[in-house]
Structure 1
Amino acid sequence: MIKKQQHINIIIYITILMMWMGVCALKAQEPARPVIQQVSFPKDTLRITEFGAKGDGQYLNTEAINKAITTISEKGGGVIVVPEGLWLTGPIEMKNNVNLHVQRDAILLFTDDFDTYKLVESNWEGEPAWRNQNPISGKNLENIAITGAGVIDGNGGAWRMVKRDKMTDSQWKKLVASGGVVDEAGKIWYPSESSLRGATTQNAGKGHAGQTAADFMDVKDFLRPNLLVFTSCKRILLEGVTILNSPAWNIHPLMCEDLTVRNLNVRNPWYGQNGDGLDIESCKNVLVENSTFDVGDDAICIKSGRDKSGRDRGMPTENVIIRNNIVYHGHGGFVIGSEMSGGAKNIWVEDCSFLGTDIGLRFKTTRGRGGVVENIFINNINMVGIPGEAILFDMYYGLKGPLPKAGGQGDAVAEIPPVTEETPRFQNFVIRDINVNGAEKGVFFRGLPEMSIKNIMIERVNIVAKKGVELIEASNIVVKDLTLKTAETDPLIHVDNSKNIVFTDLKPGDDIDLLVHVSGAQTEKVVLTGAKIEGVKEISTFSNGASKKALVIK
Structure 2
Amino acid sequence: MNNWFKAAAVLGLMVCSSGLSAQQLPVIQQTSFKKDSSYITKFGAIADGQTLNTQAINAAIDACNKKGGGVVVIPAGLWLTGPVVLKSNVNLHLKKGALLQFTKDFNQYQLVEGNWEGIPQMRNQSPVSATNATNIAITGFGVIDGGGEAWRQVRKEKLTESQWKKWISAGGVVSADGNSWYPSEQWLQATKMKNAGEITPDKSPEFYKSIKDYLRPNLIVITKCKKVLLEGVTFQNSAAWCLHPLMSEDLTVKNVTVKNPWFAQNGDGIDVESCNRVLIENSSFDVGDDGLCMKSGRDEAGRKRGMPTENVIIRDCKVYHAHGGFVIGSEMSGGARNIWVNNCTFIGTDIGLRFKTTRGRGGIVENIYINDITMIDIPGEAILFDMYYMSVDPVALAGEKRELPKVETLPVTDATPQFKNFVVKNVVCNGAAKGIFIRGIPEMHVKNVHLENMKLQADKGIDCQEASGITFKNISILSKETNPVVDIINSDHLTFDKLTYSKNSELLFRVAGDRTRNINIQNTDASKAREKIQFEFGASEQNVSTK
Name the TM tier (shorter chain).
Answer: over 0.9
Query: How far 1:321 sits from its partner (Å)?
Result: 0.1
Match of 1:423 among 399, 416, 426: 416
How far apart are the structure 2 equivalents of 1:263 and 1:252? 17
Q: Can you give the 5+ residue segments of structure 1 that lack an aligned partner in the other structure?
A: 1-20, 406-413
Match of 2:38 among 46, 54, 57: 46
Checking the alignment, whether the CA contact within 8 Å between 2:18 and 2:367 is kept in structure 1 is: no
Partner of 1:18: none
Match of 1:243 among 231, 235, 238: 235
Partner of 1:513: 506
Checking the alignment, whether the CA contact within 8 Å between 1:96 and 1:144 is kept in structure 2 is: yes
Within a 5 Å distance, the mapping from 1:461-472 to structure 2 comes to 461-472=454-465
The answer to whether residue 491 in structure 2 is matched with residue 498 in structure 1 is yes
Match of 1:144 among 125, 130, 136: 136
Partner of 2:4: none
Query: Partner amino acid for 1:545?
Result: G
Checking the alignment, whether the CA contact within 8 Å between 1:198 and 1:220 is kept in structure 2 is: no
Checking the alignment, whether the CA contact within 8 Å between 2:15 and 2:21 is kept in structure 1 is: no
How far apart are the structure 2 equivalents of 1:257 and 1:24? 23
Query: Residue 279 and residue 492 in structure 1: after superposition, are their counterparts in 2 closer, same or farther (change >3 A)?
Result: same
Within a 5 Å distance, the mapping from 1:50-65 to structure 2 comes to 50-65=42-57
How far apart are the structure 2 equivalents of 1:101 and 1:95? 14
Partner of 2:119: 127
Checking the alignment, whether the CA contact within 8 Å between 1:119 and 1:213 is kept in structure 2 is: no
Per-residue deviation, residues 366-398 of structure 1 (Å, max 9, x unmatched): 000000000000000000000000000000000
Checking the alignment, whether the CA contact within 8 Å between 1:182 and 1:190 is kept in structure 2 is: yes
Query: How far 1:212 sits from its partner (Å)?
Result: 4.7
How far apart are the structure 2 equivalents of 1:104 and 1:22? 46
Per-residue deviation, residues 15-35 of structure 1 (Å, max 9, x unmatched): xxxxxx994744874351100
Query: How far 1:210 sits from its partner (Å)?
Result: 7.0
Query: Partner amino acid for 1:153?
Result: D
Query: How far 1:211 sits from its partner (Å)?
Result: 4.5
Checking the alignment, whether the CA contact within 8 Å between 2:358 and 2:417 is kept in structure 1 is: yes
Per-residue deviation, residues 31-85 of structure 1 (Å, max 9, x unmatched): 5110000000011100000000001100000000000000000000000000010
Query: How far 1:214 sits from its partner (Å)?
Result: 2.6
Tell me the secondary structure at the aligned position of residue 531 of structure 1.
Answer: coil
Per-residue deviation, residues 307-338 of structure 1 (Å, max 9, x unmatched): 00000000000000000000000000000000
How far apart are the structure 2 equivalents of 1:34 and 1:24? 14
Partner of 1:11: none
Within a 5 Å distance, the mapping from 1:376-415 to structure 2 comes to 376-398=368-390, 400-404=402-406, 414=408
How far apart are the structure 2 equivalents of 1:195 and 1:211? 17
Within a 5 Å distance, the mapping from 1:46-445 to structure 2 comes to 46-209=38-201, 211-398=203-390, 400-404=402-406, 414=408, 416-445=409-438
The answer to whether residue 547 in structure 2 is matched with residue 545 in structure 1 is no
How far apart are the structure 2 equivalents of 1:306 and 1:180? 31
Query: Partner amino acid for 1:379?
Result: N
Query: How far 1:531 sits from its partner (Å)?
Result: 0.6
How far apart are the structure 1 equivalents of 2:404 and 2:479? 24
How far apart are the structure 2 equivalents of 1:34 and 1:506? 35
Query: Residue 466 and residue 210 in structure 1: after superposition, are their counterparts in 2 closer, same or farther (change >3 A)?
Result: closer
Query: Partner amino acid for 1:318?
Result: E
Q: Give the stretch that moved more between structures: 62-71 or 542-551.
A: 542-551
Partner of 2:515: 522
Q: How many residues align?
A: 525
Query: Partner amino acid for 1:403?
Result: P
Per-residue deviation, residues 209-235 of structure 1 (Å, max 9, x unmatched): 374533211111011000000000000
Per-residue deviation, residues 403-462 of structure 1 (Å, max 9, x unmatched): 215xxxxxxxx3x11111000000000000000100000000000100000000001111
Checking the alignment, whether the CA contact within 8 Å between 1:86 and 1:109 is kept in structure 2 is: yes
Checking the alignment, whether the CA contact within 8 Å between 2:237 and 2:259 is kept in structure 1 is: yes
- Cα RMSD after superposing both structures: 1.3
Tell me the secondary structure at the aligned position of residue 157 of structure 1.
Answer: helix
Query: Residue 101 and residue 24 in structure 1: after superposition, are their counterparts in 2 closer, same or farther (change >3 A)?
Result: closer
Partner of 2:25: 33
Checking the alignment, whether the CA contact within 8 Å between 1:198 and 1:223 is kept in structure 2 is: no
How far apart are the structure 1 equivalents of 2:478 and 2:198? 48
Query: How far 1:532 sits from its partner (Å)?
Result: 2.3
Query: How far 1:104 sits from its partner (Å)?
Result: 1.1
Query: How far 1:194 sits from its partner (Å)?
Result: 1.6
How far apart are the structure 2 equivalents of 1:76 and 1:210? 43
Query: Partner amino acid for 2:331?
Result: E
Q: Give the stretch that moved more between structures: 304-313 or 215-224.
A: 215-224
> TM-score, normalized by length of structure 1?
0.93
Query: Residue 23 and residue 95 in structure 1: after superposition, are their counterparts in 2 closer, same or farther (change >3 A)?
Result: closer
Query: Partner amino acid for 2:21?
Result: E
Query: How far 1:344 sits from its partner (Å)?
Result: 0.3
Q: Can you give the 5+ residue segments of structure 2 that lack an aligned partner in the other structure?
A: 1-11, 392-401
How far apart are the structure 2 equivalents of 1:29 and 1:56? 54
Checking the alignment, whether the CA contact within 8 Å between 2:221 and 2:245 is kept in structure 1 is: yes
How far apart are the structure 2 equivalents of 1:461 and 1:274? 31
Per-residue deviation, residues 206-263 of structure 1 (Å, max 9, x unmatched): 1213745332111110110000000000000000000000000000000000000000
Query: Residue 27 and residue 233 in structure 1: after superposition, are their counterparts in 2 closer, same or farther (change >3 A)?
Result: closer
Query: How far 1:507 sits from its partner (Å)?
Result: 1.2
Checking the alignment, whether the CA contact within 8 Å between 1:277 and 1:298 is kept in structure 2 is: yes
Query: Partner amino acid for 1:74?
Result: K
Query: Partner amino acid for 2:522?
Result: T
